[in-house]
Amino acid sequence: MSTYIGIGFSRDPDAAKAAQDAADQAKQNLHASSIDIAIVLNTSHYNPADFLPIIYNQLKKTRLIGSSTAAILLGERIEERGIAILLLYSDDIRFETGGVENMHLQDLAAAGSQLAASCISSDYGQDHRKLLLFFADGLIQDLSRFISGMSKTLKGTFPVIGAGSSDNFQFKKTHQYFNNTVLTFGACGVLLGGRLQVGTSCRHGWRPLGKPRFVNQFENNLIKEIDHKPAAMIYQEYFEDTTETLKASSLAHLNARYPLGTPLGAGREYLLRNIINTLEDDSIVLQDSIPDGKPIHLMIGNKESCLQAAELAALEVKSQLQGRTPKLIFVFESMARYRILGRSANTELQNIRKILGPEVPLYGMYSFGEIFTHSSANGQETLLQNESIIITAIC
Amino acid sequence: MDNPIEMILEFFILFLLIGGGVLSYFFYNAVQEIKVLRNALGKLSDSFAELDEQAKMIVKTDLELNKTQEELDKRLNGLDALQKTSRLISTTLDENEVFRRLNQFPLNELGFEKILVYTLDENNQLFPRIYLGYSKAEHTDITTKVGTNAKLMELLGDGNMVSSYKSAPELQTEIFEMTNVRHFVLTPILAQDKMIGIIFVGNPGDAFAVTEGDTELISILADQIGQAVENARLFEQAFRAQQESEAKVQERTKQLSRALTDVQEVSRNKSEFISAVSHELRTPLTSIKGYAALLIAGQIGDIPDKVKDRLEKINKHSDNLVKLINDLLDISKIESGKIEMKLTPHQIPPMVENVHDLLTPQMKEKNINFINEVPASCPPLPTDMNQIERVFINLINNAIKFTPVEGTIKVSAVVDTDEVTFAVSDSGIGIKKEDLPRLFNEFYRIENEINQNVKGTGLGLALCKKIIEAHKGRIWIESEFEHGATFYFTLPRNIKK
């Protein structure tokens, strides 16, 4: 009884050749005659129409999910240009995939429910479900409704991890892949069930800065007033600049370092929210909604706090695995962290592997929004986070 | 108590008074507490305000720190990438390989999303080498726009860099319209102060504005590429020149080979001719000599003394002629390979002594001092004894001829690992420098007084040369006019295959 893992990567500038090379490498590294599933990641330098059919055919039409990303995490390497393919074959794990598209044209909760339903349509049932991993268009606002629809359908007590597909920091266009299809405003996922153990953790390392503030007027992810002032004023106050200047100098860039945060449960953990737009009336649009009635803070993080958070997450995963060595590590990490960590980004991956096993393959991406199932006194809740790192290990 | 109503009223008033007092007390306390709370709230508010002020300071410091850190990271990444590209492209001397390697390298580590690299072709047109971050249609469009912008090309051709960091706003707008990239660096690739290509790098997003460090980085990259391309082109030129030269050498070799074949053919014909003529001459000469001998011996009858003198001269000249013909025949046979050297080990010192004995009469005539310094330890050498003896005879005879009365002739040998070098030196008149190269030619005789008086064929040294070469040895002469001459020849210690 075994699980086989094969990873291939190519940075050839020609998309077709890169796809071919990566698929060949992955197959060669898999050391198995069959493939259960392929997880494809690519940077935005490649047009999916040029490489996806090649990969799909090269892998003999095996089930496939995937996403575009700002950079690919491979072991301790960070590849800012290339196509990566992870192949899995297992005697112990059962994989069920699903995909939805055109989510912007439909009710997001229904779309979430649809994705979840397709992932559990033919599995062995609730007891066998161990992990749902999915990619969703990170540029879709208010993904909470999608997540909520998905959670209701899954009704599970197993972890859900997700990554918002990203591009090259342009925030213009992302891609998701389901088999041979490039999804538009889509989501795709895989449910892992059967004989496997999962350890997973999500951390960010940001801490609150300044006084707590309260949202007075909001509508889903649109925040109109904070402390009875136009919402964007909070940044104006801290950065001592006009909102116009802040807008011009890319508020999105600033808020990646200084997102808004609201307490998560009763602990010291905070739910972070990126601002994705500032409107004419100085209202701010967050990537997702925030819980009602809780104080919000401007948050601050730095390299050290990011590295520390990643180490804590890795240690938590390790403790969940109860001494077992993982076979594969998935890392979904906020692209904002990549910018903050800079040259230390590799150190973060090295630290994770030091804790979880230097020989264990690590596969992941920089995401625009991280989705994770948090446990609290009220049970489990799957939430979209920003500036976070999700580390998941399976064995 | 008169009136119960009064009593109740009084009691009620009393109650009101007491209640009012108590209420007043509590109200007073509440007001005091509110005051305290308000005071505390004010302090808390002040604390929060102070906290926020501190937060603002932290943010300000953090922003500065992050900006510096980001710039530092960017510079370090860029330098790292530059070092890698330098290593990659400096180890090839093929221009196409330079760009193939750059294409394989993650150039975005330089910190740019869009990268275009062009070289100028022979018509000074832009030839795309690298295009990252653009589709083929996009980069073709940009190539046309940039390539046809004479003003821009002239600016770059003069070695100027254009960037969103410090170029004129209208120029920045122009580049933006061509490339759809707001933050960019456009710089020429120079080789020997001449533009051989251009590099364009840029980031469309506002989050990655170009800094001074970026312009320096790209300038260095352009220099690196320029140097690598220049090296590759120089190598290509040198390689082509070498190829042309090699082709010429090959052609010349062929010509020489043909000429050599012709010469060999002529030589062979000459040898055959000499051989044939010599044979034809020797037969009648033998008869002449025979008859002359019979006549001299008086076997045909007595002859007068005067006739006898003449007949003896005929006999003597016939002997010379026979020797000449024999030498010619030998040279001819050695050249044509008809004489095979029978190489068997022979001791050379006794051979030299034999030759000395043979030539002692001639040496005595001139009272020449003969010194034999061939060491007794000289190893036996694989030689054809008769032929090598002939060499010694020729060389010593020659020395006798040119050595004055009471002169010295010395024969010596130096034993080396592979060969033995013999020297036959004399204290004769020496040889002029201009005569040395032709000394071993057939029939060549130096024009001097001695040669005019002493007859010779001019074949002796030529024959020696042929014999020594047939033994895989070498022969040469060292001489200074009027200071004697030394003939050297070598013989291998082992038979060379």
Q: Minimal CA–CA distance to A336: which of A390, A257, A273, A275?
A: A257
Question: What are the strands of the beta sheet with B194-203, ordered from one edge?
Answer: B126-132, B114-120, B194-203, B183-191, B162-163
Q: pLDDT tens digit string along B157-179?
A: 999 999 999 899 999 999 999 99
Contact A363, A291 (CB under 8 A): no
Q: Which of residues 78-117 of B touch A (CB under 8 A)?
A: 103-104, 106, 108-109, 113
Closest CA to B53 of A256, A206, A207, A237: A237
Give B92-116 pLDDT, tens digit per residue.
889 999 998 888 787 778 888 889 9
Closest CA to B344 of B380, B375, B374: B380
User: Which tokens is A170 given?
Assistant: 């342009």
What is the three-state SS of A192-255? EEECCCEEEEEECCCEEEEEEECEEEEECCEEEEECCEECCHHHHHHHCCCHHHHHHCCHHHHH
- Contact between chains at A211 and B51 (C-beta distance less than 8 A): yes
- Per-residue confidence at B444, pLDDT binned at 50, 70, 90? confident
User: What pLDDT is attached to residue A97?
Assistant: 95
Contact A262, A270 (CB under 8 A): yes
- Whether the predicted pLDDT of B1 surpasses 70: no
What's the pLDDT score for residue B64? 85
- Mean predicted lDDT score pLDDT of chain B: 87
Interface test with A, best of B48, B53, B73 (most A CBs within 10 A): B73
Asked whether A11 and B106 are in contact (CB, 8 A), the reply is yes
Q: Is B76 on the interface with A (CB under 8 A)?
A: yes
How many Å apart are CA B225 and CA B198, to the nearest integer?
A: 10
Helix (H), strand (E), coil (C) string for A239-293:
HCCCHHHHHHCCHHHHHHHCCEEEECCCCCCEEEECEEEECCCCCEEECCCCCCC
Q: Which domains does chain B have, with CATH numbers?
A: 87-240 (3.30.450.40), 340-492 (3.30.565.10)
Report, in angstroms and rounded to the nearest whole number, the Rg of chain B calculated over CA atoms. Answer: 56
CB A297 within 8 A of CB A210: yes
Query: Residue A22: helix, strand or coil by DSSP?
Result: helix
What pLDDT, in 10s, does the model give residues B35-65? 999 989 888 888 888 888 888 888 888 888 8
Greater confidence, B272 or B439? B439
* Nearest-angstrom CA–CA distance, B47 and A303: 28
Which tokens belong to A344?
Answer: 């230390």
Amino acid letter, residue A306: C
Q: A225 — contact with chain B (CB < 8 Å)?
A: no
Q: How far off is chain B from A80, nearest CA to CA, in Å?
A: 7
Rounded to a whole number, what is the distance in Å from the CA of A53 to chain B's nearest CA?
A: 18
| Integer Cα distance of B263 and A256 in angstroms | 90
Q: What is the pLDDT of residue B399?
A: 92
Question: B162: which DSSP letter?
Answer: E
pLDDT, tens digit (0-9, with 9 covering 90-100), for B446-490: 777 776 666 667 788 988 998 999 899 999 999 888 889 999 999
Burial of B166 (0-12, 13-18, 19+ CB in 10 A): exposed
What sections of B148-194 are H helices per DSSP? 150-157, 169-179
Q: Which backbone phi and psi does A131 adopt, to 5 degrees?
A: -160, 135
ipTM above 0.85, yes or no: no
- Rounded to two decimals, what is the model's pTM? 0.67
- pLDDT means per 10 residues in chain A (395 residues)? 91 92 96 95 93 96 96 94 96 94 93 93 77 94 91 89 89 92 95 94 94 89 92 83 56 74 82 87 88 88 95 97 95 93 93 96 96 82 94 96
Torsion angle of the four alpha carbons A282, A287, A290, A296, in this order, in degrees rounded to the nearest 10: -60
Confidence of residue B314 (pLDDT cuts 50, 70, 90): confident
Which among B108, B180, B182, B203 is the top mutation candidate for probing chain A, defined by the most A β-carbons within 10 Å of its own β-carbon? B108
Which candidate in B51, B59, B66, B69 is best for mutational testing of the A interface (most A CBs within 10 A)? B59
pLDDT of residue A100: 96
pLDDT of residue B275: 73
In sequence order, what DSSP letters do the residues of B195-217 get, joined into one string? EEEEEEEEESSGGG---HHHHHH
- Pick from B202, B74, B208: nearest CA to A253: B208
Report the C-alpha gap between A290 and A296 in whole angstroms: 9
Q: Does B208 touch chain A (CB under 8 A)?
A: yes
Asked whether the beta carbons of B195 and B189 are under 8 A apart, the reply is: yes
Measured between alpha carbons, how far is B406 from B427 in angstroms, rounded to an integer? 10
Contact A259, A276 (CB under 8 A): no
Q: What is the DSSP string of A94-113?
A: EEEEEEE--GGGS-HHHHHH
pLDDT at A393: 97
Q: How far is CA A299 from CA A69, A258, A338, A390, in A?
A: 25, 5, 17, 19
- Å between B114 CA and nearest CA of chain A: 9
The answer to whether A249 contacts chain B (CB < 8 Å) is yes
Contact with chain A for residue B26, Cβ under 8 A: no
Q: How far is CA A93 from CA A163, A210, A359, in A?
A: 22, 48, 21
Dihedral of alpha carbons A170, A176, A180, A181, sign: negative
Mean pLDDT along residues B127-155? 90
pLDDT at B402 over 90: no
